Structure 1
């Protein structure tokens, strides 16, 4: 399993469970999380990342996600995703580009989520 594949598997587990232990498995203790490239709020460290995640969380079963690794080396990856929300406030389809830098354990030390809503 590559760092990118392992990262996505752990991310999906955390996305589904919203469990702080699962979130901590995705990110290094000193990680930086950019929820979008132009975000005014950046979460630094696992405590801030976990709090941000839980504040913005999606409930299990409210989303679908397809993904592919665009490019990867031992230290970083670009991952293209498509997130679908069939109902609710976020209803629609979103294109994602995740930029991830990894530590030696394959956890994210830096994560940026570029996303845009498709036209309806």
Structure 2
């Protein structure tokens, strides 16, 4: 069963990987058969660690162009973590409100689904 501390550790490692854009750090976040969805029921998710790493590194964000803050909103009965975040881009891009649903197994995500929407008033 996932705990809030485990979920926090995972999201902090995600943020670190986002900062470094290091393939090994990104890969360490996910199981071999993980699924990464950009929206619920994504018709074209990244499937498998290799695809997730490749997709992530295809268009990486430069670390000096964004800030990310989050709060673990809860752990569901099946151990799925619910994370609310804010991604603030420091360039011309808008700020995003994020909701992540993360299924973890021994510290790695087996399934990651995100919802994101532009924060009102930050549209380009």
Q: TM-score when scaled to structure 1?
A: 0.89
CA distances 1:16-47 after superposition (whole Å, capped 9, x unpaired): 01111000111111100002226442001001
List aligned pairs for 1:77-92, cutoff 5 A.
77-88=81-92, 91-92=93-94
**In the alignment, which residue of structure 2 is the partner of 1:31?**
34
Instruction: Give the unaligned 5+ runs of structure 1.
Output: none
CA distances 1:51-71 after superposition (whole Å, capped 9, x unpaired): 111123211111001100001
**In the alignment, which residue of structure 2 is the partner of 1:99?**
101
Q: Distance in 1 between matches of 2:17 and 2:95?
A: 21
Aligned residues: 117
Instruction: Give the unaligned 5+ runs of structure 2.
Output: none
Q: Distance in 1 between matches of 2:59 and 2:117?
A: 16
Q: Does 1:56 align with 2:59?
A: yes
RMSD over aligned Cα, in angstroms?
1.6
Q: Distance in 2 between matches of 1:52 and 1:3?
A: 25
1:72 is displaced (CA, Å) by: 1.5
Report the 3-state secondary structure (helix = DSSP H, G, I; strand = E; otherwise coil) of the residue aligned with 1:92.
coil
Q: Distance in 2 between matches of 1:36 and 1:53?
A: 16
Please, which of 5, 29, 49 is the counterpart of residue 8 of structure 2?
A: 5
